[in-house]
A and B are shown apart, each in its own frame.
Chain A
Amino acid sequence: MTESLADAFAARAARDPAAPALLWAGSTVTYGELDALRARAAAGLAELGLDPGVPVGILGKKSPEAIALVLACLGDRRPFLLPSIELAPDTLDALFAQAGASHVLSPSTGGGEAPLVARPVERGDGDGPGLPASAEGPEGVAFMLTTSGSTGLPKIVPLSPAGVWRFTDWAAAQFGIGPGTTVLNYAPLNFDLCLLDIWSTLKAGGCVAMVDQDRGTNGAYLVDLLAANEVNVIQAVPMLYRLLIDATREDGTRFPAAAHVMSTGDKIPASSLEQLPELFPNARFFNIYGCTETNDSLMYEFDLTGGAPVNIPVGSPLPGVIALMVSPEGEFVDGAGTGELVVWTPFQTRGYLTAELNAGKFVTYPAPDGDGDGGGDADGGGGEKIFFRTGDIVRRHDDGSMTLEGRADFYVKVRGVRVSTQVVEQAIMEHPEVIEVAVVAVPDELAGSRLHALVRKEEGGKLNSLKLRQHCAGRLARTEMPSSIEVVTEPLPKTPTGKIDRKRCLPRQERTTSKNG
């Protein structure tokens, strides 16, 4: 029997149709109601008369109808590409064509007759081959997510039903998700984070409190949502915690129902971290490390009783996960030292949909002995496994703990010296008046690159660039010291995912011209 998310949901809906499945826009959608929406979407899908296994695209804002549409595709064993709705139309067209999608489906809104809106995908000669013949079955393709795509076209990451099954099993058990549990869903629907927030929860019989994407940066709305619904599990990028801290400063709202609070996707600033125990007085706090390609890989539980650690350890591999450190020369680093983090997880993709993109990102290594195999081997067993190169540089300390050093691609050359902009960000972040910081490399004819720091301080704070330079003098080498520092009080530019958008943190004159004035 194939273990399927759709079957697990259907069983929940049959057993307890009155149980709450979704909290959305102030009302509750029960398992029975969500299953009715799913049936409606499934009927619309059937009307298209697609051959089995032919992929579709799903494009829509997060809503109960959109979730029902995903459930319908899962139930139909139909692979689907779920990209960000914020991508440019041309990019979306290219991605849908690459995935071999026959139609792009959107949930119908406004309560019309049609259960969904289907638009055929026009395919050109230069399009990708679509899904391989092996797409069906438990090790085939269910979800197709995309990487955030900092350069070029986002890459399509196919996830197998079996991988998703193993991940949702882990997540529900780890964070106590089941009937009676309410889980916040902050991320947009196309995010891998939803595999935990939404899909683990619906499989396990819990209830998803959905954040409206359009109001995701409205602190007062977020506070109300959390307080009104007694949310037990929260997983989000650090931005959510900053918004909650700022929005509760005046009235002192607390969230005693939260039992598990997880930060992921970016490094959480110590200034946010140390305020979490006050905000969530009964919670355990975790930092989760993962990539779309591998899903969650490492986890660290904070002990915040003595304040926030400056360097957040990346933590330990999840059950069944293998984490290796590889030097720039390609040697395994066993003891203390630095290297790129390379992982294999029971949840991971077999590789990008476009096979040519796998070179250099997916590598075959012999698996170490005693890996604690937590599930079937996605790569067909044997002594070797296909590992994913994360692009993250980690340091293993003498005591065996590992901390993130930065992205391999965050290293820049300043006057011939290799500098990590993230090391500089970390040093600036250690100043107590700094809320957030972005350090970016600006092309410079003389130096190759020079560093620019955009720093956010508290409203009315006395911090200025000179004080920051004095703060950094003992912490940074001269090549690491930013050439220019801009101190602001407004939030730094963010990507739709809530990460700092470094491209928009360049000095003003660099955003329009490339030449240094």
Chain B
Amino acid sequence: MDDTTKIKTFIVEEFMPDVPVEDLESDYDLLEGGVVDSLGLLKVVAWLETEFDIGVDDAELGPESFRTVDQIKAFVDQARAANA
């Protein structure tokens, strides 16, 4: 399973379990759609830290950088590069 599918699967299972994973477009605005709010964001970050073994600086935390699956994927790639 690639990272994008992993992220999608998590988001779907956690926030909209009635939706097929393939229905979630990677550029869908999760914030605008109310799927992930500030409370949900904390769950996403906690999962990212474990799943991808990355550290997330609290200062970076803001819903604006987690609007879409693509943005989350980009965030993960960036964090890995910084760790390497």
Interface residues of A (CB under 8 A from B): 444, 446-447, 450, 464-467, 469-470, 472-473, 478, 481-487
- Whether the Cβ atoms of A466 and B37 lie closer than 8 Å is no
| A-B complex: 10 closest residue pairs judged by Cβ atoms | A481-B34, A469-B33, A466-B19, A465-B16, A464-B19, A464-B18, A487-B18, A465-B18, A446-B39, A466-B16
Give residues of chain B (44-75) contacting chain A, Cβ–Cβ below 8 Å. none
22 pairs from A and B in contact (CB 8 Å cutoff): A444-B39, A446-B38, A446-B39, A447-B39, A450-B39, A464-B16, A464-B18, A465-B16, A465-B18, A466-B19, A466-B24, A466-B28, A466-B35, A467-B23, A469-B33, A469-B34, A473-B32, A473-B33, A478-B32, A478-B34, A481-B34, A483-B39
Give Cα A180–Cα B13 distance, bound, in whole angstroms.
60
Q: Count residues of chain B with CB under 8 A from any CB of chain A.
A: 17
Residues of A within 8 Å of B37, CB to CB, are 447, 450, 483
Give B32's nearest chain A residue, CB to CB.
A473
Give residues of chain B (4-50) contacting chain A, Cβ–Cβ below 8 Å. 15-16, 18-20, 23-24, 28, 31-35, 37-40
Residues of B within 8 Å of A450, CB to CB, are 37, 39
Interface residues of B (CB under 8 A from A): 15-16, 18-20, 23-24, 28, 31-35, 37-40
The winner among A469, A481, A486 for most chain B CB atoms within 10 A is A469
Residues of B within 8 Å of A485, CB to CB, are 16
- Whether the Cβ atoms of B39 and A482 lie closer than 8 Å is no
Task: Decide if the interface of chain A is mainly helix, strand, loop or mixed.
Answer: mixed
The winner among A465, A485, A486 for most chain B CB atoms within 10 A is A465
Residues of A within 8 Å of B31, CB to CB, are 478
Known contacts A464-B23, A466-B35, A484-B15; can you find 19 more A-B pairs with CB under 8 A?
Answer: A444-B39, A446-B39, A450-B37, A450-B39, A464-B16, A464-B20, A465-B18, A465-B19, A466-B19, A466-B28, A466-B33, A469-B33, A473-B32, A478-B31, A478-B32, A482-B34, A483-B37, A483-B40, A487-B18
Q: A469 is contacted by which of B35, B38, B39 (Cβ under 8 Å)?
A: B35
Residues of A within 8 Å of B19, CB to CB, are 464-466
Residues of B within 8 Å of A481, CB to CB, are 33-34
Residues of A within 8 Å of B33, CB to CB, are 466, 469-470, 473, 481
Give Cα A265–Cα B40 distance, bound, in whole angstroms.
37
